[in-house]
Copies of this chain bind each other. A is one copy, B any other.
Amino acid sequence: MDIKIVDVAKRAGVSPATVSRVLNDSNLVTEKTKRKVLAIIEEMEYHPHAAAKQLRSQRTMTIGVIVPDINVSYFSEIIKGIENMAYAKKYKLIICDSDNTLEKETEYLELLKNRTVDAMVLVMPFMNDEELYELADKGFLIGVVGRNISHDGIPTCKTDNVKFSHVAVNHLLEQGHRSIAYIGGYSDSAESYERLEGYMKALKDHQVPFQPSLIDNGDYQEMGGYNAMNRLMDSGTPFSAIYVANDEMALGVYRVCLERNVRIPEDMAVIGVDNNRISRYINPPLSTVNQPKYAMGALIAEKLIDLMTIKEFAEKKDWIIHSDLIVRESSNYQRNE
């Protein structure tokens, strides 16, 4: 039989209430009693039953994260950031992998509804805005990473898509490129649109005409980038550079170039987004926009925990973190046209 709080209390010659106070660091206990109880706890190897504590106190000290794929370093690094902040603030973390499906994402939200977690971080959720609003309106605490949510109750953290895309495409233009393709993420998503906006701004700065036939979309996965690149190259409009909405899809672009004997960067300059670990190791090393993933994770976790602690929003609820362009070999080749 497991040992419980009454057992400790009896052995220590105090009441369960006192043991509870010791466990929860109440200052209503004498230093002496505290030491005695602590000693007994140690001796008996007592471990407070989590479920009982949670039921009584109505909090779990646990936060959840739902990511589309834990294997993708963009997500696992965000998780690292959340995990470290959570750990520092004594929160536990439940990590959920939605396998890139809305179905699993929805199912994992049950953890919030059945109070397994006190709050949930959604990273690049598939769910639409309205469903997210509804959750917040019902009093569930959620935070979102990588997407804009216009709801007072939902803190968000993302990077400035327009800005860094502008910078990235600008870099390509400065290398002399005049026909630059773009592969976005999901075609209906805000961030794809924003990245396209940055792309167009850069073209405009350099008075380069916009060519719709150089625009395509993928699904943020390698295969999606592969397919989009093939479509672009088959479409007939020539281009010498490409800006890809994430590094995963850039991997697919690399594969197409290899298969078609297109040299990077001589024949085709490539820039990705995310600074996934792998981008540094591929051949040639991929220029990319560094998304401060760890920082975004830590920040959203901190805000959510603050919210649970002080129960009200600070002056700000949406956080934009700065991203840097990292120029590597894949875009480092001066053209003279």
Contact = CB atoms under 8 A, between A and B. Distances in A.
A52 B50 contact: no
Interface string A74-99: 00110110011001000011111101
How many monomers of this protein are in the complex?
2
Greatest chain B CB density within 10 A among A97, A111, A251 is at: A97
Contacts of A111: 50, 92
A46 B114 CA distance: 9
Interface string A13-48: 000000000000000000000000000000000011
Contacts of A251: 281
A116 B53 CA distance: 11
B92 A95 contact: no
Interface string A47-77: 1111110110000100000000011010011
Contacts of A110: 47
Given A281-B278, A283-B282, A113 B47 contact: yes
Contact of A52 (B55, B70, B80, B281): B55
A277 interface: yes
A115 interface: yes
Nearest to A283: B283
Interface string A273-284: 000011001110
B115 A49 contact: yes
Nearest to A97: B83
Interface string A93-133: 11111010000100000110111100000000000000000
A164 to B, nearest CB: 23
Given A51-B54, A114-B47, A76 B80 contact: no
A61 to B, nearest CB: 10
Contacts of A99: 84
Interface in A277-315: 277-278, 281-283
Given A51-B54, A55-B52, A77 B71 contact: yes
Among A76, A80, A84, A104, max chain B CB count under 10 A is at: A76
B92 A93 contact: no
A50 B80 CA distance: 26
A93 B49 CA distance: 19
A115 B48 CA distance: 9
Given A278-B278, A283-B282, A79 B70 contact: yes
Interface of A: 47-52, 54-55, 60, 70-71, 73, 76-77, 79-80, 83-84, 87, 92-97, 99, 104, 110-111, 113-116, 251, 277-278, 281-283
7 contacts: A70-B95, A76-B76, A83-B97, A92-B116, A94-B94, A94-B95, A281-B281
